[in-house]
Structure 1
């Protein structure tokens, strides 16, 4: 409710405000929803003057309807889809990771979460020639691994170095440092992180649960509030700057004995898309991983795909079977 105040718009002086309140008209909503002709008689003011005030208040405070066609045109012009580097994962995600929203990868240790994050960073920096913000909260980011993946894509050393320069790494190991970093980026530093003329297209947090989960549970009510703050700033950054927000999460055991993403029910509403990554059977040395879509507004949930972590290390020239991944049913 927006309360009427003197001077809010031309013509709304103290005398008229007093008469409106006497007629039990106290908010903008009251003015907009009233019969203007009847109200003008009750307040002894001209219909023309009151109609003009109502029109100004509508322009200042009312939300105007937008057609579905306009929304779709806005979506087409603002949304970009970023490849994960894996055809089967891209298919699972309806072509890839979308800008303007949060995508979550959950899984246990060794499930391939970081590898997918590395691949997204490599795709954005090398192929799109855009910048990436990579927030490492576990110390797991390996520059040598990034370089290995870049070498699998191009043999040009200069291209490799330029791509590495577009990946901006922040090593943060507690929730307060993460929030400080995100708020600073949102306030304007995000687009200052551009190199080579390209804008930031992805903000990756690997992992968001590493700094949030220690604060949850027990009597630490502050943890929930901090988690919601992280979610809020990531959402606004994704939307306002048209970037893809990609986060990783740990897993816990469900009541049935299976695995599910961590951070609880409150966090489950935050990501637009959630993917569960797991090791495939075949021994500890197997590079095969499975991906299950557990939340999506675009695809049926619980569909699955397989991918091979080693596909990101093979050069295109040296392996004709690079990224030839098998799609599986649920």
Structure 2
């Protein structure tokens, strides 16, 4: 899905007048159109002089959406896809890799939940550096709080001294840095734009046979979604669900792993819980709760949700300073 403007060249029915009509109702993208009551939108179109063409434009956009749906797959096709494409990416953290039986599963959305200073960003940077170093592919890192640290990436790559590979470290570091593509993103609409562009780029890379994206990181998803959830309207929640479905679609259809972070908020009895509420709770395939020992260097991670693992399993680990 994409901004409506990007469809104009390929679909002449989606022209200047159609854009103006949609803009007058606050519709600038495919997502905006889906969030509207289509019956009401068609009723508005009926009031315009070129109503027939406007309704054809609405039908065309819906047809484009339907055309992007994956075909039905039988069980054997799904099994073959899982065996061929849905492997795991090591996070570079032995404790988490052991807990997850290898690391982040390709095709899935994994969420790291934790309070401030619990190590969420450190694990994102570690996972990014490890994926760029160990796997043939690139990493896309959406930084929502100016927390991306190339110095920390350098530390993770060069932390172990090994005379056999010390001379190769500058070359390895250059490869890793070149393969991590960082975008500063400060609102959900910019995130949608970046993700749509990413999907377009991935499709182009597949056609050219270029190296593909293997890991998508958003640190943090909650800082983008929380500002749109205020008030009693449903628009913010609909955008949140749309964002979650888009991330899962990217992961599954393009064989990449998605890692997002989420903060915690106060719950009943003063017990912390993941932010973004019940509607978001069903989105991630895997939810991990991260914490850090007070004043120490030990971290703990436990499973809140996993498709093939009981909640409550936990692991403890250290992250090199």
Same structural fold, with TM-score higher than 0.5 when normalized by the shorter chain: yes
Change (3 A) 1:217 1:163: same
1:299 to 303, 309, 318: 309
Q: Which residue of 2 aligns with 1:163?
A: 176
Provide the alpha-carbon RMSD of the alignment.
2.1
Return the alpha-carbon distance in structure 1 between the equivalents of residues 177 and 73 of structure 2.
Answer: 44
SS for the counterpart of 1:305 is strand
Q: Which residue of 2 aligns with 1:217?
A: 230
1:289 to 275, 292, 299: 299
For the pair 1:246 / 2:255, whether they are aligned, the reply is no
For the pair 1:266 / 2:279, whether they are aligned, the reply is yes
Q: What is the TM-score when the length of structure 2 is the normalising length?
A: 0.71
8 Å Cα contact 1:277/1:292 also seen in 2: yes
For the pair 1:123 / 2:130, whether they are aligned, the reply is yes
8 Å Cα contact 2:229/2:237 also seen in 1: yes
Q: How does 1:111-260 map to 2 (within 5 A)?
A: 111-152=118-159, 155=166, 156-189=169-202, 192=205, 198-260=211-273
Report the CA distance between 1:130 and its aligned residue. 1.7
Structure 2: any 5+ residue segments left out of the alignment?
1-70
8 Å Cα contact 2:91/2:103 also seen in 1: yes
Q: Residues 190-234 of structure 1: CA distance to partner in whole angstroms, max 9, x if unpaired?
A: 7649xx953210010000001111111323532112111211211
Q: Residues 23-47 of structure 1: CA distance to partner in whole angstroms, max 9, x if unpaired?
A: xxxxxxxxxxxxxxxxxxxxxxxxx
Q: How does 1:101-116 map to 2 (within 5 A)?
A: 101-116=108-123
SS for the counterpart of 1:133 is strand
Return the alpha-carbon distance in structure 2 between the equivalents of residues 235 and 118 of structure 1.
Answer: 21
Structure 1: any 5+ residue segments left out of the alignment?
1-62, 314-330
Larger fraction in helix? 2
Structure 1 or 2, whichever has the larger Rg, is 1
8 Å Cα contact 1:129/1:163 also seen in 2: no
Q: Which residue of 2 aligns with 1:327?
A: none
For the pair 1:75 / 2:87, whether they are aligned, the reply is no
4+ long deviations beyond 4 Å:
189-193
Report the CA distance between 1:268 and its aligned residue. 0.5
Change (3 A) 1:171 1:269: same
SS for the counterpart of 1:225 is helix
